[in-house]
Structure 1
């Protein structure tokens, strides 16, 4: 039973601003001061004046007009596709404030800073504020002085916050990162499932759920848990054509990572994902010793250190963040030039979400992954040790199998990635398998030998072993362990001596990815046959495998993506661009915001190319809205003029 006493919000003189009785029927509003009228007549007016863009992309306009009209919606749009505009613009057009439910309070400050730079009246409520700061935001909301209010789901569900919202006018609810509602998803947040109360408590307020990644099952969960059954679903293509996908066989992974960064992304911003906290720490230290500006981030660090590292990543150029998946959700930094995984992700959904943090500005970016056989064993053991019933573990295992299939595919990786989300495209031309098509070979006999070794050990000796020992048997290696168990007498001993140990590890990985072998976790990572093995052993199935490398590949020597973009600028425009970047860095420090909050690189590049000599000429450039034109326009024109003169 909830407290029947109203919660009061007071002004500076001690007068109540609003009283929200907890006992009133759902959806019934108490008397409140009228909200200020919207400052923009329509969506296109807001887009041009506030954000500085002339036209919408894709289905943005249809989504925005639907929400402005009071409709609910589910929006699936890739990172960098403009999801935030789908709720920000309706909040500027509809009466009241848009309430944005965002899962990470650490990023709210930067989101609000960016909006305030555009002249949007934005604020947040979270635990980082003092009571006085929180009261100021509450007063602004009740008085109708906010366009957007960001809150975490945990905060929103408190009686105080719910009653606060009853005391003001709500333009809409935006549920960001909506995939967090699904218990089968990679970022499950139990609090999201309680957000069904929004429909019950405020039935007349439109709700929009947004995510960059959702399978059919996750989408079904979102609809059911958030009561969006009648809402139209706007599903854009998940394709991020500017991201190049590359997956390599893991050898000395830290050295491989270092070579990749030095060769292709020297001095650029990136994220490196690792599975464990210790691996994060070790990798960040290794990169730092090697001259890379790297910082660790994981849940084991104290809150102050995490906040400091995140602030540096967002506000400084060239920082590489080495992190567990605890980092990154909602990262709004547009110039992340690469995302690297040094351990196998748990699912395709997680991999897509994490790689999507690269190249939000639409410029070229890399998604680089190194994985090996041990990753498979480790992930399966983690699933076996995880909490949850057998159904949950089977779902996790299917997700891992899909990730393995993506790693071992001989076709276009982007095709396989998008197929996981139910979408199809032609071969992309921008992944490793398209750029350097693997010469698939008939590996049926090799896999039969591998499966036969597993079968013989179990049938004749009642034994199971891991991959390393099986490879020794196949290659005829007289190790102490082979001698101890007498495995040199098996008929399969030495039948694979023509292939190297590396080659057999590749075959073994692919057999696991194809579901022909499984890891028996109760047997300490030993291997066992599956039902699918039968057809291969009987010669009823042909297997085309990825080639096995005879030697370790050398790191490619490409121009960094930033360097390649700059090479495309004429010399005079390049000089203006560098001068503008220096001005932007100084201005960002003065305003204590990330540089991209002032202007994105793409905007600076267009300014450098178009060489505007007046404020009117500057106003026609994408990303230069009315507030930024007023605040920074004279400085930008003067900065460009210095190079022109």
Structure 2
């Protein structure tokens, strides 16, 4: 039994983690678990999911067992808990045999408050039998959406975790995730065999994240413009669809003067580990990555997530963009996408070995994502509605900041659909646009398409304008992609009504030369403070934090989150009592770091 057992949850929250009160449903979830109940918790990234199992693990007798999918995530959370004075450890393949033996002995003797395990560890009957000899406070199954084949990150080993309900029926279990639609939620309850669980769904809104989606024109220039003027201390993630593109993008960003590192499954294991370690421990690192990077990333100060290619679903998009701004400070989710992205994603679906039922679900998910990309409404509203949540127009997405104009696109749609039909429904967007614009290139002449009635009928729109129209017609289902061939465009089932003039189409007027975002450039960091001297203090606090982190070999945010440094900057505490009242300053951190940070504040005021 750990030294913190029998404390009240409020005491643990305040004295250990340094927070004055619980947020949202945290108190209700913790009370339910303390009474021995199972729970399914859906809470947005940065919403405080970890406290929902960490606090009851410290209040109930025994060790809290956390099942987590990534070794890096385990190490990160263990380091953070140790900073708070919590006795936590991880048991995974990265440990030497003697280190693993020490963790096992500590578990057996009740000397740990929390231990982090991989789902594979629980596939060993010998280890399960050992767990039966330990006092257990609870099981927390993080990233629980991995149990579902309909989710965006299915992992077969998660389906074996139902053994916990059979071997340890008296130990409460929490399944936690940031996002899951209705079929995925049902899979989590059934696949993990939760016992009459209570479902806790917090709002999915992340109001500090600014969402932007742009038509893919010159993606490198667009990314460079997005990054221009940012603070050199900003950390971010740039997602790409392929390993080759990840490496080329990292190399190009380095040529521009950024500190960019690639991350994908094809890199040497030690290179991946070293790059991820730098991302955690240094400021200003940009990781260019495939989706192999990110699940469970606990770094709170990621200031932006950029997508150079379309993700596969709104769940994946929400999960990936949710890695930005976990500390609640202003952050950005930025994406460019084009019709070629739609073609690639549809081909991935059709060429996979999945059953037809699963392919149908994946098509529906992709269609929902395309609807989000092409909407003229508030993006946050569209995103939240997908998860059954609502909000007022947010004023913090591109469609709110720069309202999208729409136009009667019926005639343009008829021209585009006619051109696709008359060219044989087997050519991609580039060729269709060439015909519409009356291009006289060799391919058009060789195919005789310069003799078609649709040749040159679309000169009222630019090339990029027609690409936008074709992209929107695809998202509306009026055009489909022949994934069995070479990605040619074909007429969709609803196209006949448009061609006959029986259905009116409204399309968004693409802003092909986007205006500068009002929050872009170097103003992002300074917007946190009204007084320029506060910016200087904030900078000195970050430098102090970096020094302390380097001494211990831990990421800076393990010492204090940016949000805590912002509070210190604004409140300017004069003594330890005042410092202890700020969020994220528990008793252990107060003893370790209080004097140094108070001295930095004092010097700034002198």
TM bin (shorter chain): over 0.9
- TM-score (normalizing by structure 2): 0.97
Q: Confirm or deny that 1:495 pairs with 2:457.
A: yes
- Indicate conservation of the 8 Å contact 2:67/2:119, yes or no: yes
Q: Confirm or deny that 1:477 pairs with 2:439.
A: yes
Counterparts of residues 174-253 of structure 1 (less than 5 Å): 174-228=140-194, 230-253=196-219
Which stretch shows the higher mean deviation, 196-205 or 600-609? 600-609
Q: Which among 39, 48, 67 is matched to residue 73 of structure 1?
A: 39
Q: Which among 276, 283, 306 is matched to residue 340 of structure 1?
A: 306
Counterparts of residues 546-625 of structure 1 (less than 5 Å): 546-549=508-511, 551-553=512-514, 555-556=516-517, 558-560=520-522, 562-569=524-531, 571=533, 573-625=534-586
Q: Distance in 2 between matches of 1:110 and 1:320?
A: 19
Deviations 1:608-642 (A, max 9, x none): 22222222222112111111112222222233223
Other structure's SS at 1:137 match: helix
Other structure's SS at 1:522 match: coil
Report how far residue 556 of structure 1 moved: 4.2
Q: Which among 21, 31, 44 is matched to residue 55 of structure 1?
A: 21
Which stretch shows the higher mean deviation, 40-49 or 154-163? 154-163
- Indicate conservation of the 8 Å contact 2:265/2:292, yes or no: yes
Counterparts of residues 65-144 of structure 1 (less than 5 Å): 65-144=31-110
Q: Distance in 2 between matches of 1:420 and 1:560?
A: 34
Question: 1:449 corresponds to which residue?
Answer: 415
Q: Distance in 2 between matches of 1:561 and 1:183?
A: 43
Question: 1:268 corresponds to which residue?
Answer: 234
Question: 2:138 corresponds to which residue?
Answer: 172
Residues 535/628 of structure 1: CA separation in 2 closer, same or farther (3 Å cut): same
Residues 207/543 of structure 1: CA separation in 2 closer, same or farther (3 Å cut): same
Q: Distance in 1 between matches of 2:477 and 2:466?
A: 17
Deviations 1:47-100 (A, max 9, x none): 001011110111110001111111100000000000000000000000101100
Q: Distance in 2 between matches of 1:448 and 1:548?
A: 19
Q: Confirm or deny that 1:630 pairs with 2:591.
A: yes
Q: Distance in 2 between matches of 1:584 and 1:37?
A: 29
Q: Confirm or deny that 1:517 pairs with 2:479.
A: yes
Residues 175/580 of structure 1: CA separation in 2 closer, same or farther (3 Å cut): same
**Bigger radius of gyration among the two:** 1
Q: Distance in 2 between matches of 1:475 and 1:615?
A: 71
Q: Which among 317, 320, 341 is matched to residue 351 of structure 1?
A: 317
Q: Distance in 1 between matches of 2:144 and 2:542?
A: 35
The number of aligned residues is 605
Report how far residue 319 of structure 1 moved: 0.4
Q: Distance in 2 between matches of 1:618 and 1:114?
A: 19
Q: Confirm or deny that 1:280 pairs with 2:246.
A: yes
Which stretch shows the higher mean deviation, 621-630 or 557-566? 557-566
Question: 1:293 corresponds to which residue?
Answer: 259
Q: Distance in 1 between matches of 2:6 and 2:259?
A: 43
Which consecutive segments of 4 or more residues in structure 1 shift more than 6 A?
none
Q: Distance in 1 between matches of 2:468 and 2:579?
A: 56
Other structure's SS at 2:596 match: helix
- Indicate conservation of the 8 Å contact 2:46/2:326, yes or no: yes
Report how far residue 107 of structure 1 moved: 2.0
Q: Confirm or deny that 1:322 pairs with 2:283.
A: no
Residues 195/637 of structure 1: CA separation in 2 closer, same or farther (3 Å cut): same
Q: Distance in 2 between matches of 1:406 and 1:515?
A: 14
**Any stretches of 5+ residues in structure 2 without a counterpart?**
none
Question: 1:372 corresponds to which residue?
Answer: 338
Report how far residue 255 of structure 1 moved: 2.1
Deviations 1:358-385 (A, max 9, x none): 0011111000001111111122222222
Q: Distance in 2 between matches of 1:487 and 1:638?
A: 76
Other structure's SS at 2:229 match: helix
Q: Confirm or deny that 1:535 pairs with 2:501.
A: no
Question: 1:9 corresponds to which residue?
Answer: none
Report how far residue 324 of structure 1 moved: 0.5
Residues 104/43 of structure 1: CA separation in 2 closer, same or farther (3 Å cut): same
Other structure's SS at 1:123 match: strand
Report how far residue 253 of structure 1 moved: 1.0
Q: Distance in 1 between matches of 2:211 and 2:11?
A: 38
- Indicate conservation of the 8 Å contact 1:179/1:214, yes or no: yes
- TM-score (normalizing by structure 1): 0.91
Report how far residue 514 of structure 1 moved: 0.5
Residues 434/36 of structure 1: CA separation in 2 closer, same or farther (3 Å cut): closer
Q: Distance in 1 between matches of 2:282 and 2:179?
A: 28
- Indicate conservation of the 8 Å contact 1:569/1:609, yes or no: no
Report how far residue 164 of structure 1 moved: 2.3
